[in-house]
Structure 1
Amino acid sequence: MPPSSLIAHYPASWYAATRTHGEAWPVLKGRQQADVAIVGGGFAGLHLARQLVARGRRVVVLERQRVGWGASGRNGGFVSAGFAESSAALLQQLGPAAARALFAHSQAGVRLVESTIDELQRPDLLMGRGQLTCCRTAQGPAFAEQVTALAQALGARFEPWSAAQVQSVLATPRYHQAVHDPDSFQIHPLNFALALAADIARRSGQVFEGSAVQSIHRQGGLWTARTAKGSVEAPELVLAGNADLGPLHGGLSCSVLPVATYVAVTEPLGPALRECVRWPGAITDTRRACDYFRVVDGDRLLWGGRITTDTREPRGLRRLMRRHILAVFPQLRAHGEVKIAFAWPGIMGYAVHKMPFIGQLEPGLWMSSAYGGHGVGQTAAGAILLANAITEGDDEWRRYQAFPLRWAGGPLGRAATQAAYWWMQARDLWDEARTPPAAALQRL
């Protein structure tokens, strides 16, 4: 395939610095026809395209920038079941059967990511296994029983860890008990996105970069997606963008709230890091505004957090991320300055109800969006549902009609959400300051 004349550089990040050589896909020029056109070259679009080309469909993927340019190539790399909305909340809202069915969808997405890595013969994409979700407040003697009950309700393999178990692998007084998810794992997300795109092309799918879709319309049973230099006609069109779809579909675009988070990777920390973190998988916590981290390159710390609706990169981002790290592992100061080698923002798409938009907008027009920071695994789950719907007429996707499009409030919605995050952070601080245990499992 000829190289693109575009080609924009990936935003500076540890992932971009360690990415494998990927194809530079061409800009769409002229008129194309397909069975399915997909808008968005992140995980939502790539997983679906790969599912469809495997079933013999002619597929065209249209990416505004580069494959994996947005949240798909900038996240923490955690692959786990569940949604932005807590499982405990879904059990209360929907009842045991419906909540368990949704959780099973998310588990299928996790399995698909792992099986895809096996099929691609890319074991290098796997970077760790297991996830600890740590409690920042003591949970009391009923914690283990509560974890077991939640696991049984969801069909999960969650395991309760005592404070002693947690402290044996994480040298910090910040954490008490934890929930261990042995089915979670971690990947290099940008390299995974690049591998998916290459596999789609090998299977005769088409991937175009630098091809922002400017408009869509339907005529005579065909959807047309127009870019600056070309168009694609297809009976099925999928909007698989994140928080940057623009005006392609007003109802969807106005329902996705852009929320920023930040990730940093330190310079090599040597033995000092191994004294703090002796866990090969991922770590997060149960606060409403949580931190998440893992070890990469043997002795670097990848750290994420600082959720905000202000999508501009803050001044002094490296200093801010260093402060978060040292708040949990202050002993790192004794080994010299903790230097941040990379720090970057990522924009997540959230819905007001914190559940993804998966389903049909109009005849032949589909959506897969708003995964709320849980898209590494859940976009794969959405791809399974939409591929089954498009190729087999399966209607399992209708379970997500319980979470319809809902206006996110525009600028006022962003301000309200930011205020809500500040309130959540204040409540997190209050929970940690008080003596009674906080109900951390309500946020799992």
Structure 2
Amino acid sequence: MRAPPGDYPPSWYALTRMPAEPRAGLAGLAKADVAIVGGGFAGLHLARLLALRGRRVAVLERQRIGWGASGRNGGFVSPGFAESSASLVQRLGAQRARALFAHSQAGVRLVEQAIAELGRPELLMGRGQLTCCRSARGRGFGDEVRALAETLGAAFEPWTAEQVQGALATSRYHQAIHDPQAFQIHPLNLALALAADVVARGGQVFEGTGVDTIARERGAWVARTAQGRVEAAELVLAGNADLGPLHRTLVRSVLPVATYVAVTEPLGRALGDSVRWGGAVTDTRRACDYFRVVDGDRLLWGGRITTDTREPPGLRELMRRHIVAVFPQLSAVKIAHAWPGVMGYARHKMPFIGQLEPGLWMSSAYGGHGVGQTAAGALLLADAITEGDDEWRRYQAFPLRWAGGAAGRMATQVVYWWMQARDLWDEWRAPPKLGGGRRSG
């Protein structure tokens, strides 16, 4: 059943979301075992896990559930982080990188488990993910991919150029990495379903409730809002790039980065002739495109990265050109919906998961990989809060670090431009050819 967009920002997800009336804001005093600031995936998965373990939870969301990045993304659920797995192995060593990758795999499993327990199989929209190379990688590609998968305990595998071209009718792509563990979802509907389940299990979810201050008072954490306050033994900051002034060091460490998503008008047979693959597709460029088929014959397409979080003029035409650059046979494509989303990044491209001070926790900065990894972070914090487990300490290798403010955003934008230039240079040196280049092993 389709619901009107209501007060959600316009998007294909808002148009196709499940009916959900706005939830009341906080008024007066509420008490909980754990208060969670942020009604996106990081906060909702944690709230549900804690409620399942008998804890009283209160979720405080400034806007609507899934309002931000959680309800606007591409809907890709897969293991891994914004930082590449190969870089983590090089930096941390095989054993520590493997442990982190196992956390991310646990997050993927938890999302699928939650969907099953919620009785919402329609939230699953496809399986498998291809990460395609925009330039030929040579004969050693297959061996490199298999070696990395073995190091990490991963399920991904190399695909040859011929396999890729059997799935995607484009000369832009060569070899690929196929991950059978990945799947795709309707993210906004999952967020709404998680919130409903939290309430059904005795939790409290407040919308339109921005937190102005947090403080430790008489042995409890207090989150104050314009109309009331929540008192809790534990407090979790689970916001993304919009936490406001609640914790200066954390907020200054999160860099807001914008990306864009579009959904086409129905394309009919032309789309089926071009995309003969039911899962997700992304590429190996430093500033990648990503896409999947939705509604049977529409293309959901995401891409571009910028630290300018304003929506650019002509966004629909901009996204249309990206599609046609990969699939020129879809030159007549029309964009039905296009929208921006803001992600939170850390300088080291790893999430902030852990304890800020006794009773005060954080789960933030998932860098565009939050659909699965927020669940992994929620599992770590739920174990810490309810069992005293300290597995979250593995993320102390990625500390809070000032993102540079306005100068940092400018510097990051220059880096993105440099990355895009490198991508173009790599493709120019090995231009795409029909037939896909050399076969990989």
Are 1:318 and 1:343, in contact at CA under 8 Å, matched by a contact in 2?
yes
Equivalent residue, structure 1, for 2:76: 78
Instruction: Give distance in 1, aligned partners of 2:223 and 2:403.
Output: 25
Provide the secondary structure at the position in 1 that maps to 2:245. Answer: helix
Post-superposition Cα deviations, 1:93-146, rounded to whole Å, max 9, x if no partner, equal 000000000000000000000010000010000000000000001010111111
Shift of 1:332: 1.2
* AA in 2 matched with 1:408: A
Q: 1:172 aligns with which of 159, 166, 170?
A: 170
Note the alpha carbon deviations across 1:150-208, whole angstroms, 9 max, x for none: 10011001111000000011000000000000000000000000000000000000000
| CA deviation after TM superposition for structure 1 residue 435, in Å | 3.9
Q: Taking structure 2 as the reference length, what is the TM-score of the superposition?
A: 0.96
* Alignment match, 1:3: none
**CA distance in 1: counterparts of 2:28 and 2:396, whole angstroms:** 36
CA contact 1:38–1:239 (8 Å) conserved in 2: yes
> Is 1:430 matched up with 2:425?
yes
Equivalents in 1 of 2:431, 2:262: separation in Å?
A: 33
| Preserved CA contact (<8 Å) 1:8 1:65 | no
Kindly tell me the number of residue pairs found equivalent between the two proteins. Answer: 428
Of 266, 271, 287, which residue of structure 1 is paired with 2:264? 266
Q: CA deviation at 1:415?
A: 0.1
CA distance in 1, matches of 2:21, 2:31: 22
Instruction: Give the partner amino acid of 2:428.
Output: A
SS at match of 1:248: coil
Contact 1:23 1:198 in 2 (8 A): no
Match of 1:374 among 351, 369, 372: 369
Q: Residue 264 of structure 2 aligns to which amino acid in structure 1?
A: T
TM-score (norm 1): 0.95
Q: What is the rounded CA distance, in whole Å, between the counterparts of 2:431 and 2:17 in structure 1? A: 46
1:237 aligned residue: 235
Query: In 2, distance between residues paired with 1:23 and 1:58?
Result: 23
Residue 331 of structure 2 corresponds to residue 339 of structure 1: no
Cα distance in 2 between the residues matched to 1:58 and 1:23: 23
Instruction: Specify the alignment match of 1:119 in structure 2.
Output: 117
Distance in structure 2 (CA, Å) of the matches to 1:278 and 1:8 = 34
2:47 is aligned to 49
Question: Which has the larger displacement, 217-226 or 367-376?
Answer: 217-226
Query: What's the offset of the Cα at 1:235?
Result: 1.1
Cα deviation, 1:310-360, whole Å, max 9, x if unaligned, reads 000000000000000000000112xxx211000000000000000000000
For residue 214 of structure 1, give the secondary structure of its aligned residue in structure 2: strand
Residue number in structure 2 paired with 1:398: 393
CA separation in 2, counterparts of 1:133 and 1:396?
30
| Match of residue 299 from structure 2 | 301
CA RMSD of aligned residues (A): 1.1
Task: Decide which of 358, 362, 384 is 1:363's aligned counterpart.
Answer: 358
- Is 1:97 aligned with 2:95? yes
Cα distance in structure 1, aligned partners of 2:155 and 2:257: 30
CA contact (8 A) 1:51 1:383 kept: yes
Superposed counterparts of 1:272-351, under 5 Å: 272-333=270-331, 337-351=332-346
Question: Which whole-Å CA distance do the structure 1 matches of 2:333 and 2:128 have between them?
Answer: 26
| CA–CA separation in structure 1 for the residues paired with 2:22 and 2:318 | 34
- SS at structure 1 position matched to 2:235: strand
* 1:272-303, Cα deviation, whole Å (9 max, x unpaired): 01111000000000000000000000000000
Instruction: Confirm or deny: 8 A CA contact 1:222 1:233 kept in the other structure.
Output: yes
Corresponding letter in the other structure for 1:19: R
The sequence identity of aligned pairs, in percent, is 78
Give SS of 2:253's match.
coil
State the partner residue of 1:386: 381
- State the match for 2:437 in structure 1: none
Secondary structure of 1:345's aligned partner: strand
SS in structure 2 at match of 1:254: helix
What displacement does 1:308 show? Answer: 0.3
Structure 1 residue ranges (4+ consecutive) displaced by more than 4 angstroms after TM superposition: none
Provide the C-alpha distance between the structure 1 equivalents of 2:174 and 2:309, rounded to a whole number of angstroms.
33
State the distance in 2 between where 1:296 and 1:343 align. 14
> Counterparts of 1:144 and 1:319 in 2: how far apart (Å)?
37
Q: 1:39 is aligned with what amino acid?
A: V
Give the whole-Å Cα distance in 2 for the aligned partners of 1:427 and 1:394: 43
1:103-142 aligned within 5 A: 103-142=101-140
Contact 1:8–1:66 (CA under 8 A) maintained in structure 2: no
One-letter amino acid of the structure 1 residue matched with residue 429 of structure 2 = R
Q: 2: CA distance between counterparts of 1:332 and 1:111?
A: 35
* Partner residue, 1:412: 407
**Which amino acid is 1:340 matched to?**
I
Look up the SS of the partner of 1:312 in the other structure: coil
Distance 1:135 1:402 in 2: 30
Q: For residue 404 of structure 2, what is the amino acid of its counterpart?
A: G
Alignment partner of 1:175: what SS?
A: coil
CA distance in structure 1 between the partners assigned to 2:356 and 2:191 by the alignment? 26
- CA deviations on 1:396-433 (whole Å, 9 max, x unpaired) are 00000000000000000000000000000000001111
Deviations 1:15-68 (A, max 9, x none): 000001124211000011110000000000000000000010010000000000
Shift of 1:436: 10
One-letter amino acid of the counterpart of residue 186, structure 1: Q
Residue 240 of structure 1 deviates from its aligned partner by 0.1
Q: Secondary structure at the match of 2:148?
A: helix
Q: Secondary structure in 2 aligned to 1:133?
A: strand
